[in-house]
Amino acid sequence: MKYTSANTRRTARTIPFVCGFLFAAFSFVYLYFLQADLLAFLQFCLSNGQTHYDALVGASLITLVLTLFGLCLQRLMSLPVRALALAWLPSCFLLLLLTGWDTQSGTNDAICLPSLAQLVILAVLAVVYLFALFLSRVYHDVASERALFNIHLAPNLLVLALAFLVVGIMGNTSTPLHYELQMERLLDTERFSDALRVGEQAQATSPRLSTMRCYALSHEGLLGEQLFAYSLNSGSAQILPSADAPLREYAIADSICQYVGLQPSMAHSSILPYIEHACARDTVGSPVLRDYLLTACLLDRDLSRAADLLCTDSLTSFPTHYREALLLLAAQDTTFRVPFADAPMQQALSEFLTEMAQKEKPTQPEDRLRRHFAHTYWYYYFFSR
């Protein structure tokens, strides 16, 4: 579009640079920091595991291609200076296509389309975009040539901000999925301590996350110390890879099974009998397998079985969660004698049980219980589902 004002011509040359820079910055940050693991999984699936995705190279190349595409559209589309950002929306849409897909739970976690609601929203946005292009051609707004630079820039920034917001919201932001993919990558390089920091304060969880956390905690010797500091589902099946939903991009499922000495779990709730049978056949007395057995007992809330196992060991000290379980058993069964003394923990349990007794709804935790006891086995025992 031709302008008679020299000031507007300078503005028409400057705003494309601003739009291109903002899009490139957003695209690189979004792809490199937020969606790198998701894109690695996408490439793994599309190439049948034959190629490897490099986060820096991938984010740079995709950003370059999409930026050049936006610049080409901007040259081809005769848009008024106030609507130049509309040329960048197709690039935003392509960015969304790369990261907006979903996974279907199953043997291979097949890639599938977004939900119907998201597709409807995209269709509506496409209609709105076409209507905006129509309006920009009908109303050239020639009188605005005398307007200041920021008057021309503001609507372009608003359009880009809305486009970036849509990409951020409608891209695959499944918290458990991103945590799972990140943990798999870290565990593949045996960075167990780094893997344990992934989502450590988050409430989002999944069986896969629990499986990998048990694996990392066991490697660090912290399975009985820190497992219940994480958000967990109920039941012991989550401590082993599921046979019908193996871990994805890396061979973590095989590594876990080899490490523990067990095959993937076919159970949907409890695998305690399976691990007990494996322990009975274990002539070496693997400490890892025994730790997994104790953890399975706690996850299934089988305190009596856990106590039988612990009391047969000549341990001088018990990990934190094992002590919490034994103290809880003693509170429930007055005939049981705790084989250790821990006055501070006993006091904490008394406070926990007192607050539990004062609750109006026993099945729902209150804020103070969550703040002070969410890291304990007691909280899992009463509130995990």
Write the pLDDT tens digit of every residue in 150-193.
777 888 999 999 999 999 999 998 899 999 999 999 999 999 99
Q: Which residue has the higher pLDDT, 270 or 126?
A: 126
CA distance 247 to 264: 11
Q: Indicate whether 374 belongs to any domain.
A: no
For the segment 264-278, the average pLDDT, to the nearest whole number, is 82
**What gap in Å lies between CA 170 and CA 159, rounded to an integer?**
16
| Whether residue 190 sits in one domain with residue 159 | no
Which domain-ending residue is among 239, 254, 289? 289
Are 205 and 155 in a shared domain? no
Residue at token pair 């390089």: 189
Distance CA 236, CA 247 (A): 17
In angstroms, the CA 332 to CA 205 distance is 29
Please indicate, yes or no, whether residues 186 and 157 belong to a single structural domain of this protein: no
Q: Is residue 11 part of a domain?
A: yes
Write out the two tokens for 143.
């009188």
Query: Do residues 185 and 250 lie in contact, with contact meaning Cβ atoms separated by under 8 Å?
Result: yes
Find out whether 328 and 303 touch, Cβ atoms under 8 Å: yes
d(CA 180, CA 205): 9
Is the domain of 120 the same as that of 187? Answer: no
Task: Identify whether residues 55 and 168 lie together within a single domain.
Answer: yes
Among 227, 260, 289, residue at a domain's last position: 289
Domain C-terminal end among 289, 304, 331: 289
Same domain, 34 and 160: yes
Report angle CA 134, 121, 90 to the nearest 5 degrees: 50
Q: Which domain holds residue 100?
A: 6-173
Percent of the residues in the chain that have a pLDDT greater than 90, as a whole number: 56
Question: In this structure, what token pair is assigned to residue 338?
Answer: 């705790």
Average pLDDT, the chain: 87
Higher pLDDT, residue 342 or 5: 342
pLDDT over threshold 60, residue 205: yes
- Residue 343 covered by a domain: no
Q: What one-character-per-residue DSSP string does 140-160 give?
A: --GGGGGS-HHHHHHHHHHHH
How many domains does the chain contain in total? 2
